[in-house]
Structure 1
């Protein structure tokens, strides 16, 4: 079958034409579906409908992916020609700015954000990490997730936001890797910490509720490491026999780590808060991120209980 722009490409349903064009460009149904932000089953239905309409096969399946058939190559050429003739613009996606506390991004939210990007390759997302109260005050974003010591809504971002929502209460304990501490020899008092190297994330030095832990670290004359990287601190606890302060959910996040409760009389707690930019809170893409955050915390509710 031979195609001409007048009889074929120009008269195609725009959705079907776009499904074919992106599939031909990607050479992979899954990647094409991500780019179009639809399910792969829906994409395949579009392509099957197009092939039925044209009464031909547009793709040849190969071991390493998809290849266009002779008819598929002809259709692709026509669609490219039409696109040049009409100068079809690229649809700009709105930029979503998400500011989030670094530990929350790494431990809780990161996996679901990756899943979002796997489903939607066309999204525009600017992720900003917060590592201090100063960065919280300086940030400009659509959605903000931060940590604070107080139960009541604390001072949040400097721009106008919706009423802050408390998502979780976190309690913090010293943690150690299980493989570096047998149950019988596991430290259970502050004196026992003398035999272990302590590791501290520098950001935590400014947290008032961590004063009991920070005092122990500050008194150390040896056997202490200060780090500016949260991920490196976790790696040192996992692999270097160090003890560091982490949220109590960490044993859920990493089964190789175990909390050491009971060392401090004063509890060390923080709250997770979320607020949405008052000017952009009604936008569909902003609501998508807000819904993702709520779902993430609801699915991990057991992490924050007890």
Structure 2
């Protein structure tokens, strides 16, 4: 009988393992993070940012409220991080920017992963002209600098946060398309895939139920590595004034506003820059923690034999 374990023993190419019992998510998370310092620290930083974005705003003043008698105020009890040039509370605006940045980073990569995996799967399954056309489209997208492409798209398709997610996703999808295609080209001739094809499985079911699950670990690691790029792109758009429309706060917009008064209140630029750095570091640590250890043995110099 054909089983998923009959597939070639290649990294990230096995079919999903089916067990008779369901592992609770908490136990599964504990098992994954045990002894994985990079993943633990990355999750801790990410949870801290989530608390800043979700739990803190109800306790603060409205981010768009202007205190005209507290313009460019130094940190106080009422305003722990001070106020900007319009008297708006910096901590409140930083928390609002955290929601935008987290949504832009992880939301855009979710869209890019779905789009790229679909394109790569179709290219690998259809082959021929479809494969060449879709991969040339991916190459053309990768040929443009990411920042230049996202600025052009955002300028042409100016809109709200949803359009921002779409623009970043349209910039980063080729990474997932190429990775999914490479993985599917390896697994499409596996015995469990041939068995599913022989039973009459539809191409869409074959792709989403048998081929793409084998590429899921590699795609998730690639997504974690791509999140810092999405953070940089979102912050760059905010700095250039192409991000979310005012008065919505973004970290890039906060950096731009602080840059205008850096000689008067240099501390205003520290908080948003530090926030971008922490989110980028958290994503990098998550990617490092999710990356499977190398199975190759280090090359050692041959020992000298005594004469």
TM-score (structure 2 length as normaliser): 0.24
Counting helix residues as a fraction of each chain, which structure ranks higher? Answer: 2
The structure in which a higher percent of residues are strand is 1
> What TM-score results when the alignment is normalised by the length of structure 1?
0.24
Structure number with larger C-alpha Rg: 1
